[in-house]
Amino acid sequence: MTIELSVEFFPPQTPEGAEKLRATWAKLAPLKPAFFSVTFGAGGSTQDRTYDTVEEIRAAGLPAAPHLSCIGSTKTRVREILERYRAVGIHRIVALRGDLPSGMAEPGELRHANELVEFIRAETGDWFHIEVAAYPEYHPQAKSPKDDLLNFKRKADAGANAAITQFLFNADAYEHFVAEARAAGVTIPIIPGIMPIASFSKLSRFADTCGAEIPRWMRKQFESFGDDAASIRAYGLDVVTSLCERLIKAGAPGLHFYTLNQAGLTTEIVQRLGI
């Protein structure tokens, strides 16, 4: 079985950050990821920086995939962005609803990710391979597990090619979600999101924001290390590698690494996995 790797960056805000990111993708390129995805800010607020980063990755001969949000935007604006990416030969997009920026009252013409997927298909046909988000531990704003699953199915039915999950540390949650999705008639690949751990305090903040569960046993072990960065790194590598091994054994078609613009941990995990 072939395991497809992909990695995610956020667009740098400074020239120094841009230089560091160039070094990062150069180090990750030997892993031969299927694509390097690049995120955006709330309401697509960093979409220009996203474009610049994607174009630079593409110009380096590497497969790039911009994230595209629809919340707070217009069909005209989304159409312009799609055409901009088509013009430079980008064929993959991660289509997301996104978050409404602070102070913005109107959600825009496209209110949900399935509407964005439908719009991309209507405007561009099969030009783009479309990735969407999945939430094995449920979206923080979901009314119920059933509603969350139906929202996911709508994105698949709208024309998504594959899905990437929120990062998780509970393999059971992934297996359960995939089983539920298949029972609901969703057939697209569902790729688990992997978060390498360099800082437990930073991980905790991310998890609180997006609703990802950090298992109690794992949290307690990390807390016991205090400020011992070396122990946190070593334990994090062991935990995440074991998680990846179980996910692959469970049939995960790929692994999507949330790199936080760093190469070291992702590279070591992939080398440990031998893929």
Give ∠ CA 130-132-138 in degrees, rounded to 5.
Answer: 170
What pTM does this model have?
Answer: 0.93
In this predicted structure, what is the pLDDT of residue 139? Answer: 79
Largest CA distance in the chain: 53
Domain that holds residue 172: 4-273
In this predicted structure, what is the pLDDT of residue 46? Answer: 61
Show Cβ contacts of residue 101 under 8 Å, excluding neighbours closer than 6 positions: 41, 42, 43, 45, 72
CATH number at residue 33: 3.20.20.220
- Please give the radius of gyration of the chain, using alpha carbons only, rounded to the nearest integer: 18
In this predicted structure, what is the pLDDT of residue 43? Answer: 46
* pLDDT tens, per residue, the chain with 275 residues: 689 999 999 999 899 999 999 999 999 999 999 999 999 864 445 677 899 999 999 999 999 999 998 877 788 989 999 999 999 999 999 999 876 554 444 556 777 899 999 999 999 999 999 999 999 988 777 788 888 999 999 999 999 999 999 999 999 999 999 999 999 999 999 999 999 999 999 999 989 888 889 999 999 999 999 999 999 999 999 999 999 999 999 999 999 999 999 999 999 999 999 98
Helix residue ranges, H only, the chain: 15-28, 47-59, 75-87, 113-124, 145-157, 171-183, 200-210, 216-224, 229-249, 264-273
List the catalytic residues.
8
| Structural domain total, the chain | 1
